[in-house]
Amino acid sequence: GGTAMAAVRDVEIDPEGTFKYILVRLQRPGGEEQRDIVRGTKAAEFHNHIFEKVNPEMEKLGYECKCLGGGKIDHNSKDKKIRVFGLSTGYGKADHSVTVEILKKVYRDYEITWSDDKK
């Protein structure tokens, strides 16, 4: 039931810097249960590199993954600020307001903002 899905972390992003991110929807095949997660890293040159890493991991756990879009995250851990912006050429723009809500669950004492700016 919910335990396996709960084991998947809401957010996995680099601790510092500006990098690409994607918003991913997890769903049990044929199930109602679904959840959105945020993944981002400087190691990814393109948004699909992130998805190609997440997808097999989640499939092993029995989830179907769908990328809802992407953008960029600017993570300033010193000032405890995160800015979500930009878009993914391949996946389109994620709903950054959804991303911010997910980030707030993890980075509770941060100031988290978003915009549709490209940079």
Which pLDDT tens digit goes with each residue over 52-65? Answer: 999 999 999 999 99
Question: Is 68 among the domain residues?
Answer: yes
Question: Is 6 among the domain residues?
Answer: no
49 catalytic? Reply is no
Of 117, 22, 101, 116, nearest to 69 by C-alpha is 22
Read off the pLDDT of residues 19-51 as tens digits, 9 standing for 90 and up.
999 999 999 988 888 999 999 999 999 999 999
Residue 20 labeled ligand binder? yes
**Residue type for position 13:** I
Question: Is 110 among the domain residues?
Answer: yes
Question: Is 31 among the domain residues?
Answer: yes
What integer pLDDT is reported at residue 5 of this predicted model? 64
- Residue 25: give the domain boundaries: 11-115
Residue 97: CATH number of its domain: 3.50.20.20
Question: Is 3 among the domain residues?
Answer: no
d(CA 5, CA 44): 25
Q: Residue with structure tokens 């800015």?
A: 83
Domain count, the chain: 1
**CB 42 within 8 Å of CB 21:** no
pTM higher than 0.85: yes
Question: Is 5 among the domain residues?
Answer: no
Considering 47, 49, 75, 96, which one is annotated as catalytic?
Answer: 47
Residues in contact with 60: Cβ distance below 8 Å, sequence separation at least 6, in sequence order: none
